[in-house]
């Protein structure tokens, strides 16, 4: 039987309805500040979508477009001003930044309580310690998908292919945390016999940035497969999973596009609302 499609667009729409309700309950409009440096076409599209999402749920979109040749000092000055701005509840600096700018310094400069992406070291540290805080958007979106589709995690074996601080490492913490209770292994480009490892997993997450890396032979029949990858091949987007082949083996699978991507944007709104409530 072909795998069930995990529809990220539908779940993201439900999350946006919840966020809109939360915004109305606040009786004020939270402000989401987006910072776009340069004019990368893909980044421009991403930021435009995030701004549209914010406005649709009743938030105020505060956008700053900066030239690619801006200095690090000027960028940090803007972030400091947004930190001090009472109208701003969440701040997002769109990555990647142009060459010559330090993305780590930019992220670290954001006030942790306004860190809409959930990537500030303080928020990542709170995740490690299982303390309340703003969580990275993509891992949080994956967890919401699993919850929505009632994919069991307790006692299940999960293998995450990819160890980035954006996805792999924080997702491993979320899956293994008390309440989720999965047994998690993080694989990467240096993992030996990776196919043997992934074939043991009840849940496989592909976040390695390699087109169609995960093949049907690497999946245990009936596993749930989450594809975080976004790769452009010629005129189309594909994930890190060989979707058509894996869909014949897995019990459930996310498509690309339309799977994890919409959830990343939705969880950005969740973080902004959480920040507004906290403030």
The DSSP code for 131 is: -
Quickly tell me which residue has 């043991």 as its tokens: 200
Exactly one of 117, 202, 227, 242 is catalytic; which is it?
Answer: 117
270 vs 263: CA distance, rounded Å: 10
The DSSP code for 113 is: G
For residues 240 and 210, is the Cβ–Cβ distance under 8 A?
A: yes
For residues 60 and 32, is the Cβ–Cβ distance under 8 A?
A: yes
SS3 assignment, position 61? strand
Residue 9 burial (CB count, 10 A): 14
- How far from chain centre, in Å, is Cα 208? 14
122 is catalytic: no
**Burial status of residue 73 (CB atoms within 10 A of its CB: 0-12, 13-18, 19 or more):** exposed
For residues 263 and 8, is the Cβ–Cβ distance under 8 A?
A: yes
β-partners of residue 159 are: 185, 204
SS3 assignment, position 34? strand
Exactly one of 50, 89, 156, 242 is catalytic; which is it?
Answer: 50
Exactly one of 16, 53, 89, 94 is catalytic; which is it?
Answer: 94
β-partners of residue 93 are: 35
117 is catalytic: yes
Give first-to-last CA distance, the chain, whole Å: 49
94 is catalytic: yes
For residues 118 and 171, is the Cβ–Cβ distance under 8 A?
A: no
Q: Which residues are catalytic?
A: 50, 94, 117
């Amino acid at each position: 039987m072909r795998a069930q499609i995990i529809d990220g667009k539908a779940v993201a729409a439900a999350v946006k309805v919840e966020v809109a309700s939360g915004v109305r309950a606040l009786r004020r409009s939270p402000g989401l500040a987006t910072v776009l440096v340069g004019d990368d076409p893909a980044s421009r599209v991403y930021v435009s979508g995030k701004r549209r999402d914010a406005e649709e749920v009743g938030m105020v979109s505060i956008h700053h477009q900066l030239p690619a040749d801006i200095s690090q000092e000027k960028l940090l000055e803007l972030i400091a001003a947004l930190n001090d701005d009472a109208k701003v509840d969440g701040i997002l600096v769109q990555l990647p930044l142009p060459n010559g700018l330090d993305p780590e310094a930019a992220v670290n400069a954001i006030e942790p309580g306004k860190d809409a992406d959930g990537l500030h070291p303080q928020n990542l540290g709170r995740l490690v310690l299982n303390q309340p805080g703003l969580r990275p958007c993509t891992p949080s979106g994956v967890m919401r998908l699993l919850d929505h589709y009632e994919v069991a995690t307790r006692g299940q074996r999960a293998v995450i292919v990819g160890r980035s601080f954006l996805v792999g490492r924080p997702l491993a913490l979320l899956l293994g945390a008390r309440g989720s209770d999965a047994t998690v292994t993080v694989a990467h480009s240096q993992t030996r016999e990776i196919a043997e490892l992934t074939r043991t997993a009840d849940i496989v997450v592909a976040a390695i940035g390699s087109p169609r890396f995960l093949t049907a032979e690497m999946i245990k029949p009936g596993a749930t497969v989450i594809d975080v990858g976004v790769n452009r091949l010629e005129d189309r987007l594909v994930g890190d999973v060989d979707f058509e082949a894996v869909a014949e083996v897995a019990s459930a699978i996310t498509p690309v596009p339309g799977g994890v991507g919409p959830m990343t944007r939705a969880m950005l709104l969740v973080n902004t609302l959480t920040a507004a409530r906290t403030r």
